[in-house]
Amino acid sequence: MSNSLATDLTGRTAIVTGAGAGLGRAEALALASRGASVVVNDIGSAAEDVVREIEALGSRGVAVTGDVSDWSLGDRLVEAAVDSFGSLDIVVNNAGITRDAMLFNMTEKHWDDVIAIHLKGHAALSRSAAVHWRAAGKAAGGPVYGRVINTASEAFVLGGAGQANYAAAKAGIVALTLSTSRGLAKYGITANAICPRARTEMTVGVFADGEHNGGLDIMAPERVATFVSFLATPAAETINGQVFVVYGDMVALMAPPTVQQKFVAADGTFTVEEFADQVVPYISKLPAGQNYSAEGIIALDTTGVTN
């Protein structure tokens, strides 16, 4: 298969949630620019605006408004893809919100809203797509085409002090991605997660202004969208169960967690005293502040720095 065919999405159908603005909009347009038809989801009329942009690119789109935390919306989105365009090939779970607060200030609503939009929203659409692809695979008598691209965050391995809800939701999304990749692989489906950074309305106060490479903002969501559209293509068929950090001019493949140290009871059964004798001295020799948080990921941030 030539590179052009391997990266062509003509005849494919994608669903993108939270696609009325920001990263989701950029992802929907990137997929459409490669030939895909797109079901554009958001909670308001902005979804219709993005459909018009897709049509201006010469592709096809349909808007489906609704809150991704409504479990039934997953079925509606899959039905819209199949009814409007005849297939479902790509799912991009993007919709999200933030409700940042220190844990001692966090309300039940802060927690529930973030978990519902991020984790439940990802699960609802992934589940509906899985039902469709499983049935399609049985009907075809073999594997079918399917891509799931989930949106996690570096927060899941950093655990920011004011983002207990967000970090927990994103960690759950990574676990959901791995389970999806294992459960659907035999049907030909891949599932991967991205941890993006992009300048959008939700993050406008986080990133400083900047341009790079011909005037394209170093934090432009289009940069992330290019990688998402790659993961959606036939070229990415062997990429499954992976987590990528994506922003600026780079993509980083995350390594799986490893066992740092194994502690073994001397006579087969630990006592509290033996834990104190083994675990405390080992932990005390670690670099100050080192724990499970992947602080080293911060070193990736060289956005805008030329070699």
Please give the full DSSP string across 238-263, using - where no structure is assigned. T--S-EEEEETTEEEEPPPP------
d(C-alpha 207, C-alpha 122), whole Å = 26
SS (H, E, C) 1-57: CCHHHHCCCCCCEEEECCCCCHHHHHHHHHHHHCCCEEEEEECCCHHHHHHHHHHHC
| Active-site entry in 170, 181, 187, 247 | 170
| 170 flagged as catalytic | yes
pLDDT at 201: 66
Q: Which of 59, 69, 153, 181 is catalytic?
A: 153
pLDDT, one tens digit per residue, over 41-73 is 999 999 999 999 999 999 999 999 999 999 999
pLDDT for res 151: 98
128 assigned to active site:
no
SS3 at position 88: coil
**Distance from C-alpha of 148 to C-alpha of 130, rounded to nearest angstrom:** 10
* Residue 295 pLDDT: 85
Amino acid letter, residue 97: I
Which whole-number Å values give the CA distances from 292 to 85, 124, 259, in the listed order?
A: 45, 29, 11
Sites in the chain below the pLDDT cut of 70 = 1-2, 4, 200-215, 304-307
Pull the structure tokens for residue 141: 């008598």
Residue-wise DSSP of 103-144 = GGG--HHHHHHHIIIIIIHHHHHHHHHHHHHHHHHHHHTS--
pLDDT digits (tens, 9 = 90+) for 160-217: 999 999 999 999 999 999 999 999 999 999 999 999 999 866 544 444 555 555 567 8
Are β-strands 13-16 and 90-93 bridged in parallel, bridged antiparallel, or unpaired?
A: parallel
Residues 6+ apart with CB under 8 A from 305: none
From 145, 166, 187, 247, active-site residue: 166
Q: Is 285 marked active-site? A: no
User: What is the model's pLDDT at position 143?
Assistant: 97
Could you give phi then psi for residue 179, rounded to 5 degrees? -65, -40
Q: How far is CA 177 from CA 38, 130, 213, in A?
A: 22, 12, 33
pLDDT at res. 303:
73
d(CA 80, CA 273): 61
Q: What is the pTM of this model?
A: 0.93
In whole angstroms, give the CA distance from residue 175 to residue 253.
Answer: 16
